[in-house]
Every structure is written in structure tokens, then in C-alpha cells.
Amino acid sequence: MSLMKEWFGKIRVGAVLLSVAAVSQAQEVPSPPQASDAQKIKFEWSVKIPLRDGVRLNATLYTPKAQQAPAPCIFTVTPYVAQNYHDRGVYFAARGFPFLTIDVRGRGNSEGTFRPFLQEANDGYDVVEWLAKQPYCNGRVASWGGSYAGYDQWALAKELPPHLSTIVPVASVYPGLDFPMFANMPYPYMIQWLTYTSGRTSQDKLFADHEFWGAINREWFEAGRPLQELDTLVGNPSPIFQEWLQHPHRDAYWDAYVPTPAQYGRMQMPILTITGSHDSDQPGALMFYREHMRHATPEARARHYLIIGPWDHAGTRTPKAQFGGLTFGQASLVDLPQLHAQWYAWTMADGAKPEFLRAPVAYYVMGAEEWRYAQTLDAVTHSTQTLFLDSQVNASDVFASGALQPQAGRGKPDTYVYDPRDTSSAVIESAKTDLGGLVDQRLIYANSGRQLVYHSAPFVQDTEISGFFKFSAWLAIDRPDTDFSVSVYEIGQDGSSIALSSAQMRARYRRSAREPELIRTREPLRYDFDDFRFVSRRVAKGSRLRLVVEPMNSLNSQKNYNSGGVVALESMKDAQPVTVKLFHDATRPSSLAVPIGHPTTK
């Protein structure tokens, strides 16, 4: 079960690659345990774990039948009801590790009141220290889990419980960064998730009814109602929803959810971080990774490993060969449960180092369909190629696009007009289709005249692109605020498209993600888009890159009506069309930095 699965419905991939979660199921569907595994374990229902304030959490305990002495233990804490991880409990217990799957405070059969995220640090600390004292545990405790359960591993780690031996955070949510918003743009999915975790029991059927949520989002979007009213429109008024909207950008409120630099610096346990190129929580997972690597001691950094597969959010736990309209090679199907078990054996039971971890960073090169390795995340990129934007005519159409070229541009600025009253995208976003999200071009064609498009020359040879794109643009707007989306695609010789990466920005956060500043001039200003998602793909000879610059205008994202007010309170009556000009001349060069991977050795 995962925090972010269907939250972007059929939003165009070009607007934000968080949308790749659209093809995932509402729940992670685990593999059923093998009969031979089930015969090796003992099961204990409704184990009660006391917390320091008297609240008791509910756990399901799986222990090895053959266990004769205390052993290292593993646990996960989940808001999705503990039985959803039955398969993991059987798997790890059958391999010698007692495993507990635990309902978070206020969910399932646990006592107390559920308050998302903030409760997990102290509660996790108490779980670790209680578990270390149990007769089946030898005092070495590890955590397991992804998405929300990836986040809560970092939350408990910052409290430094003495018996925490290792964490394996997977697809970790980073509150305030990639949930319940990205680039300071909240998204309607947050009320879908809050409804899912309302009450104590599982709301999985309600959560997974995508037609229901799609209809609500479309009604909200086409009516132009404020985002603040969405919880009432759904029929589930939520104080947490309203509280989150009161904090539209990173601030002290969101900082309280995550480790401080000093806390990162004191973490000494081995860490294995796992995410995917198409993981909707890749930004969070890599933010935790980077912050730990920035503040940790050299010894702790040497014990932190990173894996980036070709996976979506669910695939970071159960990889699949097909996703988003693409098919990946057999090498992508890493046996992640086995890798977890090997990691726990290595870090807690004197086992051998997992063979897969040949270097601190492992990343999968799509297209080449192979794993590559590096000493650091930055070392994945061998060099950077800068492509400058230029155009002969207004580059607002796929078939009359501008250019991405080695030399600085000389043309006149390109222009598009974004009218927030335009809701035509909802028709395509709501359409049922079997076409995968990573290869779908319908919205790009439909948005002709309302976006800017640039193509590179064809690649003269297969070229690995690995790392993070960066886009620097000189933009002028005639309103105090608006939202931008920037996307990069591989365009094949046959015209096919594969989404590579994307970034977005709200103009008021041009200077700082923490301090909004409305735009008071119509002169061009430089905007640096540096929050692209990691990608690693071998682009085929003859393919081109396509860059699309467009407004954020989707039923799956908060709408900015460009007025400069409090965006969560704005509605269609506040709508102000904005004219966007993109400059690309000698004094105001706009450019795309392309991360080139290391040449392969034959």
C-alpha cells in the first residue's frame, strides 16, 4: 500500500511527471506468500505495544517457527491497516527475521488519534525500544516500508533510538516538498488520501474508485471553485486539509516533519534508499538522501546506498516490466524482497554484502536496459550539453516549433496566452484510454497555440542521458503570478514520444521556494528550473529532444488564477489571462542543460 498511487489520474505527463502514478493501482498488490514460506512461520494477532503517553499500538507478529534464539527484528508502521503487509511478514519471518506490521496511532486497531506524519517520530522511537526488549529480538531492530512508511523511517531515525540498527526508506514522502504539494502547488489528491485514511478502518474501495474521484476533480476544475472548498465538495470536511492549505510553501511548519541538519549528522546506522525514475515520490526520496549525505559524517555517508530503478511508485516494492506504455528489460525486475533480506542480514546478522550493491549508487539505464554504478549521485552524469532556444516563428505548435541548438538564439521572443477560464484539458484528462501515460501526446497536440515547443537536431549516435536536466529561461509576464510547467521528451524517428522528466514553478517563488514575491514588472526575468526529476535513458540514434513550456492547467493540480492573491482561495471570478513571453537572444539566452551519461565500454 502506498501514499501516492492514483493522485494524478490522467493528467498530462508533459505537465508533471508525478502523473506517471496514474497507471498504478490504488493499492500495491503484493505477491502472495509461497506455501513453503507460510509453513515456516508462527502468527500472533493483536500484539499491543505501549507508548510513553499510555496509547497502545496494535501489531501483527510473524516469527520463524525454527527460531531458537533471539534474532534481529523488522517492523513497519502503516496507516493503511496492518493486514496489508501480511505477505511481507510471512516472507521475512520465513527467512529468520521476526516481523511486525503495526497500525499507526489512530488507525486500524491502534488507540489514539491519527494525525498524519507528525506522530510517527516519537511513536517510532517507542516501537524500536519496546521491540528490542522482546524475547524473540536480540536488540537489533530495523524498519521496512515505502511511501508513508518510507517517510516514517526517517522520522523515527531523527530521534536516534539506541536500538535502531538500519533503515531502508523506499519512495519516501517528504512533507512540504512532494506531498501534499510539489513546487508549492498543492494538488486535489490530498483530500482523496485524507479520505482514504479517515476513521480507523480501510477505505480502499472508496480510495480506488477513480471514476468517482475523477468526476469530483472535474466538477471542481470546470466550476472554478477554490481549492479550499474541495473537502466540502467531496463530502469529507477535513481540518488537516485546511491546515495544510494554510502553509502553501516550505516553512517552519513543514520543517518540523523532517530531520534537522544536526539530526542528520548524528545518524550513524546503515541506510539503503530506494526510488524510481518514475516514482511520484522521487523528489522526497532524493531530498532525504541528499540532506543526509550533506550533513552526515564521512563514515555514515559511506554506509548509505542508493538505488534508482526504472520503476513507478508501486514498482519500488514490486517491480513490473511494463509501465506507462513502455516495456523494460528483464534486468529491471530486481527481487527487492530478497535484496531487503540480504541487506538486513548484512547489517544486522554478519551476512555477506548484497552482490547487487557493487557501488554506493546503482541506477538503471532505460533503453540500454542495464544497471550502471557510480560512487556518488552527481557522478552519474559525465558531462553537460547546453542547448539554446531559438525560433524563426512563434514556437507555439509541435509542427512549427523552435529549435534547441548549440549556439545562442537570435530570434524574437515566443509568446503564449494562458487563460485560467480555459477548462478544455479536462475532456482529454478524463477520457478513458489504454494508451500509457509516458507515451501519450494528445494534450501536447491539443494545446497548440497555448504552449511553446522546441526540438533538438537528431542525435547522431545512441546517447545516454543520466542525471538531472536544468532549464534557464528569460520570461516576461503581464500579471503578478502564474504557474509554469517544463517537460522534456525523447521523440523517435517515427514520431513516437517518451516522457523523460519535468519541472514546474510558481512565478512568485522565482527567487525562493520559501519567500513568495509577486512579479511587479513586465520586463523579462530569469527563471531557473532546477527541480527536474532524475532520469537515466539511452536516447536512440536519430531521436530528438522535445522541450515543452506551458501553463499548469489541469484538473489534477491547484489552479493559479494569476491574480496574485491567496491561490487556495481564488476562484474563476479572480481569473486573469496572462501573456507569457520567452526570450532567447544574445543578451537573454534561454537554455536547456542536458545531463550526458558515461560512455559505455564495449
Strands 470-477 and 525-529: antiparallel
Strands (DSSP E) along 159-270, which ranges?
A: 164-166, 169-170, 181-182, 185-186
Q: What is the dihedral of CA 566, 572, 574, 578, to 10 degrees?
A: 100
**How many whole angstroms separate alpha carbon 259 and alpha carbon 292?**
9
Could you tell me if 72 and 162 lie in one domain?
yes
Determine the Cα angle at 553 with ends 227 and 390, to 5°. 145
Please report whether residue 250 resides in a domain: no
Residue 328 maps to a domain: yes
Q: Which of 245, 278, 295 delimits the end of a domain?
A: 245
Amino acid at 557: S
Q: 600: pLDDT confidence band, cut at 50, 70 and 90? A: confident
> pLDDT value at position 58?
97
Last-in-domain residue among 343, 361, 376: 376
214, three cell numbers: 475523477
Same domain, 164 and 189: no
pLDDT at 26 over 70: no
Confidence of residue 372 (pLDDT cuts 50, 70, 90): very high
**CATH for 453:** 2.60.120.260
* 93 pLDDT higher than 80: yes
Identify the domain boundary among 348, 376, 404: 376
pLDDT score for 99: 98
- Rounded to whole angstroms, the Cα distance separating 91 from 75 reads 13
Q: What is the mean pLDDT of the chain?
A: 93
Cβ atoms within 10 Å of 47's Cβ, excluding its own: 14
Return the pLDDT at 21.
38
Helix (H) or strand (E) holding 390: strand 381-390
Q: What is the mean pLDDT of residues 30-55?
A: 88
Sign of CA dihedral 114, 118, 124, 130: negative
User: Quick check: 77 pLDDT over 70?
Assistant: yes
Burial class (CB in 10 A: 0-12, 13-18, 19+), 303: middle
Q: Is residue 332 part of a domain?
A: yes
Whether 171 and 189 share a structural domain: no
The pLDDT confidence band at residue 429, using thresholds 50, 70 and 90, is confident
Are residues 564 and 484 part of one domain?
yes
Q: Express as a percent the part of the chain with pLDDT over 90.
A: 91
Rounded mean pLDDT, 475-483: 98
Q: For residue 136, what is the domain's CATH number?
A: 3.40.50.1820
Residue 24 lies in a domain: no
Within a domain: 3: no
For 524, the domain range is 382-597
Counting the structural domains of the chain, the total is 3
- Nearest residue to 429 (alpha-carbon basis) of 5, 13, 4: 13
Torsion of CA 566, 572, 577, 582, to 10 degrees: 60
Give Cα 557 to chain centroid, integer Å: 15
* Same domain membership, residue 577 and residue 462: yes
∠ CA 177-178-179, rounded to 5°: 100
- Average pLDDT (277-282) is 96
Q: What is the DSSP letter of 352?
A: P
Same domain, 241 and 264: no
Say yes or no: 455 and 556 in one domain: yes
Separation CA 152–CA 499 (nearest Å)? 31
Q: Are residues 170 and 288 in the same domain?
A: yes
Q: How far is CA 372 from the centre of its chain?
A: 22
Strands (E), 433-569: 452-456, 463-467, 470-477, 483-491, 497-506, 525-529, 535-539, 544-551
What is the per-residue pLDDT for 436? 62
Q: Do 483 and 580 fall into the same domain?
A: yes
Tell whether 227 and 122 lie within a shared domain: no
- Looking at the domain assignment, is residue 530 inside a domain? yes
Nearest CA among 349, 581, 370, 379 for reference residue 473: 581
Q: How confident is the model at residue 5 (pLDDT cuts 50, 70, 90)?
A: very low
Closest CA to 80 of 189, 234, 193: 193
Give the helix/strand (H/E) hosting 364: strand 361-365
C-alpha cell recorded at residue 7: 493522485
Domain annotation covers residue 440? yes
Question: Measuring CA to CA, which residue among 576, 542, 362 is closest to residue 456?
Answer: 542
pLDDT, tens digit (0-9, with 9 covering 90-100), for 503-545 = 999 999 999 999 999 999 999 999 999 999 999 999 999 999 9
Tens digits of residue pLDDT in 140-196: 999 999 999 999 999 999 999 999 999 999 999 999 999 999 999 999 999 999 999
Asked if the structure places residue 297 within a domain, the reply is yes
List the beta bridge partners of residue 47: 59
Q: Going by DSSP bridges, is the β-strand pair 497-506/483-491 parallel, antiparallel, or unpaired?
A: antiparallel
CB 13 within 8 A of CB 438: yes
Polymer length in residues for the chain: 602
How many whole angstroms separate alpha carbon 63 and alpha carbon 518? 58
Regarding whether 498 and 459 lie in a shared domain, the answer is yes
- Judge if 110 and 145 occupy the same domain: yes
Question: In this predicted structure, which of 21-25, 246-250, 364-368, 397-401 has the lowest mean pLDDT?
Answer: 21-25
